[in-house]
Chain A
Amino acid sequence: MTILDDSVSVAAPVETPAAAAPSRRKARRKWPLSLVVGIGIIIAWVAITLVVPPLMGRSATDVVYGAKLLAPSMDYPFGTDALGRDILVRVAVGFRYDIMVAMSSVFLATVMGLVLGAIAGTSPEWLDNLIMGVTDVISAFPSFVLALAMAAAFSPSPIILIISIAVVFMPYYARTTRAVIMTEKGKPYADAARAMGFSAPRIVFLHLLPNSVPYIMTLIATDVSGAIMVTAGLSFLGFGVQPPNAEWGLMISEGNSFIISGEWWVSFFPGAAVMSLISAFLLIDLGIRRIQQKF
């Protein structure tokens, strides 16, 4: 699920993983343009975050006295903020926060979803119902609202942020995993594994679970883009990354009071950064789907 709640599958002819396997090598010969562009943007960001701060010789929290709210110039290509900090350096450093929080939360969501889905798919009915009930309740909330409520209930920190986003994104992974386990556990190879005397956890995690990977892979790129949006949104409202750290959503909110007085650059550049990174992951998602369609 993304922040956009893109989970309503109107047309979801999901191909079976078995049918997806054979022609993989063929598809790899030519990557879709969107995939290349998406990955290119992310590589560019990694380069920017590594190269820019040393190149400018300033850190994200360095305050230059007498340099408050300077418009973009040769010295400060993105201008400076209300405290006299270099916005270019802050945008470059901000990438680290947003990508780390977004990727960790999606990773955590995947792990939680896999484990809960596997438990639900193999356990007695009451436990299955309980776990699925919990995921239903989570999906009942608009995702941004729940993440906001969770982040607000605890003292704000990146860890809380990651956990909040992960919980909100978890249900889809749990439900998919459960569905896959349910269908796979009756198949002959599962019987064979059982007949060989393998333990239940081994069968579940090594034999059954990998079948859900193709389904989950398609969702990860979209979810990372959604997680970036939630991270920036929560920080914008003051419930995510806290000052004086350089995080894009926080930087946009720091520019909020200057927008009606014309200092556009304070929030323009971090916002453009958020947009480029989210679009990069959406493009990657698009590319992955193009590849899958070829199978």
Chain B
Amino acid sequence: MAVLTYALRRLAWTIPTLVGALVVIFFLTQAVPGNAALARVGLSVDPETIAAVKASMGLDQPVIVQFWMYVQNILQGDLGHSWKTGNAVTFDLAQRIPATIELALITLVITIPFAVTLGVIAATWAGSWIDKAIQTYALLGMGIPLFWLAMMSIFVFYFLLGWAPPPSGRIGILDIAPPYVTGLYTIDSLLAGNLQLFGSVVWRLMLPVICLTLVSAAPLVVMIYNVMGVQLRSDHIRAATAAGIPRGQVVGRFALKNIMIPVLTMTAHLTRLLLGGAILVETVFAWPGIARYAVESMQVADLAPLQAVVLIITAFTLAVNLIVDIAYFWIDPRVKVAAA
């Protein structure tokens, strides 16, 4: 029951932040003067027409009224119109969201065990060569620009070695997308029983996922390393070691259990990383996801898609934070005591 109360309180906390985010997104796009009306009718139209179009779009209203209209539209599920694609933004997004989700989800599933393993190994054998190797990887991983790593991997694995496909999106030019079930091509192609297509889809996911994983795991490795280091120096681990319990068990059974909560925090953190990284990876690999949609729209000053994508990403981030906080409350009794 306490969890439910906490969840509701925490949700009530999120709403003002979301409203604030809406204000920011709305006013950022206000900074571009008269864009929406001009974009719709073109530059070579007489002022009267522009004024009429402005009025029809509600752009002659005070800013507050416009903001209220914007919020009302969002609540009704209307995210505006993209003049570049000529579609409703919701329509465009529906087509592109699965591509981003597939990329992010697979990366997330790989990154967490990868980072935990490296962090735990480095902390357990602190000072050894393997620790140094992992530390070096973490430093380089945090220092490398993601888009550059992506480009260099294309050069090496596509141009030089021919192991990877060209950076042209989710499926090959000659492939036909699997029948729509989940929108995730990996799952859909398996459901359709088309193993050849599945292979092609996985092949195309390979480089983007590896690049995203290598970069987003690096800061997590450092975090795990620090948390694990503290754990291994703690009294109960020393006691267990002194009691003669083998090292493998001490690490695996006692220390590992206590780093699960930080790992939970990291999941929230990782989604933020991935969504930022997705913008760059999607651009380099011509991945037809929402991040690339936003960037392409921005480049021609088409602002509705940008507003929508920033809103979705932010709302998603807030939701993940919310879920993680509630899960925290559920798992860790100390949080319950502090909240009570």
Give the B-binding residues of A (Cβ under 8 A). 3-6, 8, 10-11, 133-134, 136-138, 140-146, 148-150, 152-154, 225, 229, 232-233, 236-239, 249, 252-253, 255-256, 259-262, 264, 267-268, 271, 274-276, 278-279, 282-283, 286
Contact = CB atoms under 8 A, between A and B. Distances in A.
Given A267-B148, A274-B145, A143 B276 contact: yes
B283 interface: yes
The 4 closest A-B pairs by CB, nearest first: A271-B148, A137-B20, A144-B276, A279-B143
Given A145-B314, A233-B145, 20 more contacts: A4-B273, A5-B269, A10-B262, A10-B266, A141-B310, A146-B24, A153-B29, A154-B31, A225-B142, A237-B279, A237-B295, A260-B158, A262-B155, A271-B145, A271-B152, A274-B145, A275-B144, A276-B143, A279-B139, A282-B139
A14 to B, nearest CB: 13
Contacts of B279: 144-145, 148, 237
Contact of A137 (B24, B226, B277, B280): B24
A51 to B, nearest CB: 24
B308 to A, nearest CB: 11
B227 A11 contact: yes
B32 A236 contact: no
Nearest to A236: B147
B191 interface: no
29 contacts: A3-B276, A4-B273, A11-B226, A133-B17, A137-B20, A140-B17, A141-B317, A142-B275, A144-B276, A145-B275, A145-B276, A145-B314, A146-B310, A148-B298, A150-B28, A152-B298, A232-B145, A233-B280, A236-B145, A236-B147, A238-B299, A239-B298, A249-B145, A252-B147, A253-B147, A255-B151, A259-B151, A274-B148, A283-B139
Task: Tell me the dominant secondary structure on chain B's binding face.
Answer: helix
Interface of B: 16-18, 20-21, 23-25, 28-29, 31-32, 139-140, 142-148, 151-152, 154-155, 158-159, 166-167, 218-219, 223, 226-227, 230, 262, 265-266, 268-269, 272-273, 275-277, 279-280, 283-284, 295, 298-299, 306, 310, 313-314, 317-318
A133 B262 CA distance: 26
A155 B226 CA distance: 42
Contacts of A278: 142-145
Contacts of A276: 143
B226 A4 contact: no
Contacts of B284: 256
A222 B101 CA distance: 30
B310 A149 contact: yes
A25 B32 CA distance: 54
Nearest to B297: A152
Contacts of B139: 279, 282-283, 286
A26 B283 CA distance: 50
Contacts of A4: 142, 218-219, 273
Given A11-B226, A145-B279, A283-B139, A140 B20 contact: yes
Nearest to A268: B152
B32 A8 contact: no
Contact of B151 (A138, A143, A256): A256
Contacts of A256: 151, 284
A286 B146 CA distance: 22
Nearest to A134: B20
Contact of B140 (A138, A141, A275): A275
A236 B283 CA distance: 10
Contacts of A225: 142-143
B306 A271 contact: no
B145 A141 contact: no
B272 A282 contact: no
A3 B218 CA distance: 13
Nearest to A286: B139
Contact of A282 (B24, B143, B152): B143
Nearest to B16: A133
A133 B269 CA distance: 20
Nearest to A249: B145
A285 to B, nearest CB: 10
A262 B151 contact: no
A247 to B, nearest CB: 13
A16 B280 CA distance: 39
Contacts of B226: 10-11
A263 to B, nearest CB: 9
Nearest to A154: B31
A159 B16 CA distance: 30
A264 B148 CA distance: 11
A134 to B, nearest CB: 7
